[in-house]
Amino acid sequence: MKYTCLVVDDEAPAHKVLHSHISKSDFLEIVGDCYDGKEALDFLTKNKVDVVFLDIEMPRLTGLELLQCLPYPTIVILTTAYSNFGFEAYQNDVVDYMLKPISYPRFLKALNKVQALLVPKIIQTKDPVEIELKLDGIMKQIKLDDILYIEAVGNYIKIHFKHEKAILVTQTMKYISSLLPSTSFTRIHKSYIVHRSEIKEIKKTVLTLSNSISLPIGRKYSVLLEQ
């Protein structure tokens, strides 16, 4: 079985190097080439890929900005000429960080990490209907269809429901995003995730939900709502 990958870099020579390395792999195949972050985001919203080889410094949308608004969880390997983005890579759960020029032995090291992750990645085939979160020390099952939107509040997240009182959970937006299916939930701001079916109206910088609550739309997240 072959797994799909996308190469994202604004420089053609970088694509050529990665194409050469990937062609030697017996389990990866390239399904797309993008030359800036916005083009990559458009591609990813329409196509699901297993691995993204991602440059950092690019026009329109940088690699780090793209990481913040990926439409679904995927394996990301940064490919960059700069060594000073290690902390940001760690924060965004990047699998590996390859410095250019990328040698084939260094590429193989990254490939070993990818292989270790891909098998468990394909186990879940259907979107979940519930998630489990710890509330006041007790694990609580939460039905996804009951959620209206999720809000970041300091070191907590606040889950607002359609018909119940909101709850406050000690967790991060990044973690809760990893649990939510991208088919049903979209991050519209660094502080807000909304249930797509509850969106009533979208304006340039504001989104209105079915209960008439208005939420701001972050600039770098607005592209997700264009799809």
Mean pLDDT for the stretch of residues 57-70 = 88
What DSSP string runs through 80-119?
ES-STTHHHHHHTT-SEEEESS--HHHHHHHHHHHHHHHH
pLDDT confidence band for 138 (50 / 70 / 90): confident
Chain segment 103-134, per-residue pLDDT in tens: 999 999 999 999 888 855 444 456 678 888 88
Q: 11 pLDDT exceeds 50?
A: yes
| Arithmetic mean of pLDDT, 71-77 | 91
Output 220 or 113, whichever has higher pLDDT. 113
Q: What CATH number has the domain spanning 3-121? A: 3.40.50.2300
More confident residue, 64 or 223: 64
Q: For the chain, which residues make up each domain, given as ranges? A: 3-121, 130-226
The CATH fold of domain 130-226: OB fold (Dihydrolipoamide Acetyltransferase, E2P) (2.40.50)
> Tell me: the pLDDT tens digits for 12-21?
999 999 999 9
- Which of the residue ranges 3-17, 59-73, 76-90 would you say has the lowest mean pLDDT? 76-90
Average pLDDT over every residue of 62-91: 82
Q: How confident is the model at residue 139 (pLDDT cuts 50, 70, 90)?
A: confident
